[in-house]
Amino acid sequence: HAMDSKVGEVLLYYCYCEVKDPERLCAWQKALCQHLHLTGKVRVASEGINGTVGGSKVATNLYIEVMLSQPLFKDILCQEDFKSSAGGAHCFPDLRVGVFKEIVPMGIDPKIVSYKETGIHLSPQEFHREVEQYLSQASQGQSDTILLDCRNFYESKIGHFQGCLAPDIRKFSYFPSYVDENLELFKDKRVLMYCTGGIRCERGSAYLRSKAVCREVYQLKGGIHKYLEEFPDGFYRGKLFVFDDRYAICSNEDIVSACRYCGTLWDQYKLCSSQHCRQLVLTCPSCRNKGLTACCPVCQEKELKVTSRASGQTLKEECECTRRRPRVPIEHASQRMLDTGKD
């Protein structure tokens, strides 16, 4: 039946607003998604809602319609706020709807750093012009601007804006510490921030602004998603990482990352083959055929031994690459910008 057809889409959206009764909104949301046969993840909090759901076109269209007429979001959320990509219910293993403290996990109390203190939103066109200007100044070595990727290292690795500064962080909750450790970098700078759909910039920009060191903080409205709709062949190169079974969506054919083992161009992630490791690994078909399927030598060894521990949790982050990776890298003023396009 129409609600279950394979050719559907995945929606990504968020809405910051005051939610008096998160539990009730959560129950309503869960019932709505189940009714429409949608899978995915929805986070509800007293500060709003954040969701990524997949299903048939019929279902996702109905979902948008219902969301836009829900009194809580009616005057805030609009059609444009939904980013869509080809996919469907099969992109997620199940449906998870829950109440959390934050709708995007930055690890800082929303009462302390609020989405209301956000940076200046730029449309994709405005952002495109800003990046263009930044790149031409940077090539002459005279830029007062930082193009900041607010995502995790495994996201920026396979796709990013040319000339961006991409923090080497494993999750967004390390972003505030990254800012703290690198305040010098942001001093008196204009910061252009971006993320996948715009939500991490809402609180990320508020956090950066709370430090009162930047000249101005701007953010890409609608994130890379909306930018790629307007500029599929613009300044964003490579794939767009997504948090579902697809791992990435593609707007141009560029490959900007390499196989972990042989260095050949490769940008398709697989989960590390070691049983309890949740790291993603870039390993090309020919290396995979040689059995190089883990994220690091320790995991590769561990897989051979096939450790049988009662609980998988203890091994969750326990591997060489995790221990070796500093949680919050310190960038030096001679910034390691990702390919400014000065080849």
- Residues marked active site are found at 195
Report how far residue 305's alpha carbon sits from residue 206's, in angstroms, rounded to the nearest whole number.
Answer: 47
Provide the sign of the torsion angle of the four alpha carbons 22, 28, 31, 33, taken in this order: negative
* The two three-digit tokens of residue 192, written as one number: 């252009």
Q: Give residue for tokens 């909090």.
A: 45
Could you please report the per-residue DSSP string of 313-331? Answer: GGGTT-SHHHHHS-SSPPP
**Residue 222 near residue 243, CB atoms below 8 Å:** no
CA quadruple 202, 51, 163, 271: dihedral, nearest 10: 140
**Residue 206 near residue 160, CB atoms below 8 Å:** no
Nearest-5° angle of CA 282, CA 286, CA 292?
55
**Residue 315 near residue 143, CB atoms below 8 Å:** no
Report how far residue 115's alpha carbon sits from residue 48's, in angstroms, rounded to the nearest whole number.
Answer: 10
